Structure 1
């Protein structure tokens, strides 16, 4: 894409848009200057205002914060209309499962809705321990600890574990929560080219010199691209360079591996070779929160000192109970993982047959369809919804401009007919949106 086609607009259309936004910005700058208690002078607020104004000027309806009027699984209700849904993390189709609902109700009846306090003081409930023992067993770990927020799990773990004399080497596509934790720690942060093990080793070798401690961070299943790392290679390089290896397997549990155990199963790696396993309860396990699994000395230290755990209310007992039930079902019903993976492969392969760019998707649970400009991705998403399919756009700055995409989260609850209908609808939606605005 040439400079004149940035964001999918012709040179004339782009200049017209810039002029309109400049006029709006002048008025907003004047208003911000006259309001000393306002927030409009903050650069990030200005940046968001520019994005919002650009969407308004281009007539693009925001695809975000759409209300779902029921259980959002393979299908959902948006605006009281049933759509095929690819916007939820319900990978193995358990969100509406009555067994999870029963486990949540039993925990709620016995322990209440809220833990009502930090677990350190008076928020500890037996259901927390049940969940943590099941998670530890899943990873062959000595212990596990559940946090009330998945994002906060990475922030508080990395921010608490590492310090200014340390280095954190991580995949360039690592989740925001890991980046924020690294910033909090004060450690030197060194990204490497996405999913490039050779680049990772070069960076780790160079960064390790002079650092007190080193942490190597990868994901088990990358949510933007749907690909997986060569975990065995990362285990070897972590041992070779005396670094801790941390795997964020938030999108890997229930998705990666023949039975959905996660990245270690797919790679044939002993999970004990990974120093820190992190995951979330909000995806395959249909709850909310995060967890860390590893050696007991690490988990015990976090339990007593990690700010995001010690100073936060304990996980609501109904969520802990339902997550534990979901983990049991994952182990007992591996057919769900097989169906999920078959659905993802079918969607990926049908899209590729139609000429769509699905990147390096492994066809496990996430399939991106790269469309190019952010404007085009947003417009195709809207056109797709009009045809009864919900798939959200991922646009700049979440991904570089030119690689904006629709992201499809698959579920075991999708049927083959859903997949085939979706690809037909996607082809029609793409055809309905011009590659670039030809005018001004």
Structure 2
């Protein structure tokens, strides 16, 4: 039987009929809009309403957009209640660290809150150059450039570098930002099965000669599954087929490698085996924005031609200062990376021993608990929330209906005892038992 959001086709039809009846009543009360101005017919809006109705029919509270009342790290406060938190990318516990806050405050005192305009138009702030030099050094790269948004970094960089005569080959689970950049570029876009370097090689062999440039795009650490690619294999096939290799390190910096330098350290390859290193400032680095590190000609072009840099405000000085201070703390305190990886490995082991499907997670920072239907995932998340554990369900259509899941982001700040209590709460919730308050 066809299912959506874990509902049978009959239940789904009933929900749509309820929506139709409700919409009709609203239409009677409101003046009719012309078709071109009727916002209720925007693409995707009906699906959002259907999911909202399904949650209400099942008695499930919307788990998204909950306001956190303090720093959201391994622990958080929501609605005046304490929670163990697994819905934060604060991997090393640096967001909220007094040193990071002090660096941001000092930058505000010196430069104000905003860069006010693009760096091309209004000039640099010293902290921009210092951050970019430190990020370039992390990848042993010639240069680096920062942007105000991680999502926009992939969109504008891929959109700028590639064109209609080119080929973009990417993992089928690549982040939306890279997919949007590929679409913007107009290049031919080919997806290969997740982490399958042999399939990628077949696609390159089949299509490479018919195109000008080729770009192979991967992630160093996939946020839905917590797994990693065979980077040495992908690097070798990129060189063999005269393709550029781009790796998105959004969830890899601070998480992968003995000292958190990222996927090249984890896989034991030279960083120059990758042509374009992309990452974000909003996770391990406690700020907001994105960056590209690589060879000097690449950075020179982006500084003067990438629309998302040239026509966008520069990175806010306090964010640049926070990111720089976080990177320095990561480098000075490798115990944070070791603790994060130990916590993730412990969570992964305990979850598997309890019989949960954790997919292909490497147990480095991200561990999914795959439950199947969206209803099962939503109900489990609600039960855990009642017990004092905040974890987000990932539901259809973000993932296929059969692979709806809870996604646990571990932190260096979690304790072993907290992790054990969390897995015990998962077991109780799976059995339908009342879950004891964890916090």
TM-score over 0.5 for the alignment? yes
Deviation at 1:222, TM superposition (A): 0.2
What is the SS of the residue equivalent to 2:418? helix
Query: Structure 1: how far apart are the matches of 2:29 and 2:136?
Result: 55
- Alignment CA distance shift 1:155-1:433 (3 Å): farther
Is contact 1:396-1:404 (8 Å) kept? yes
Query: Structure 2: how far apart are the matches of 1:25 and 1:152?
Result: 36
Mapping of 1:40-55 within 5 angstroms? 40-55=40-55
Query: Structure 1: how far apart are the matches of 2:182 and 2:29?
Result: 36
Q: Aligned residue for 1:358?
A: 358
Mapping of 1:283-302 within 5 angstroms? 283-302=283-302
Q: Aligned residue for 2:408?
A: 408
Query: Structure 2: how far apart are the matches of 1:39 and 1:7?
Result: 24
Is contact 2:153-2:308 (8 Å) kept? yes
The one of 31, 34, 38 equivalent to 2:32 is 34
| 1:8 matched to 2:6 | yes
Query: Structure 2: how far apart are the matches of 1:31 and 1:374?
Result: 34
Query: Structure 2: how far apart are the matches of 1:32 and 1:407?
Result: 41
Query: Structure 1: how far apart are the matches of 2:31 and 2:265?
Result: 57
Q: Which runs of 5+ in 2 are unaligned?
A: 435-439
1:112-155 deviation digits (Å, cap 9, x = unpaired): 11111110011410100000000000000000000010000000
Query: Structure 2: how far apart are the matches of 1:195 and 1:229?
Result: 5
What is the SS of the residue equivalent to 1:43? coil
Mapping of 1:154-193 within 5 angstroms? 154-193=154-193
What is the SS of the residue equivalent to 1:84? strand
Query: TM-score by structure 1 length?
Result: 0.94
Is contact 1:21-1:54 (8 Å) kept? no
Greater shift, 282-291 or 5-14, is seen at 5-14
Number of residue equivalences: 432
What is the SS of the residue equivalent to 2:50? helix
Deviation at 1:29, TM superposition (A): 7.7
1:152-174 deviation digits (Å, cap 9, x = unpaired): 00000001111111110000000
Greater shift, 302-311 or 198-207, is seen at 198-207
- Alignment CA distance shift 1:190-1:28 (3 Å): farther
Query: Structure 2: how far apart are the matches of 1:194 and 1:205?
Result: 18
Is contact 1:380-1:433 (8 Å) kept? no
Query: Structure 2: how far apart are the matches of 1:304 and 1:31?
Result: 53
1:394-426 deviation digits (Å, cap 9, x = unpaired): 111111111000000000000111101101111
Greater shift, 196-205 or 43-52, is seen at 43-52
Q: Aligned residue for 2:120?
A: 120
- Alignment CA distance shift 1:30-1:190 (3 Å): farther
Greater shift, 211-220 or 101-110, is seen at 101-110
Mapping of 1:389-400 within 5 angstroms? 389-400=389-400
Deviation at 1:19, TM superposition (A): 4.2
Is contact 2:4-2:396 (8 Å) kept? no
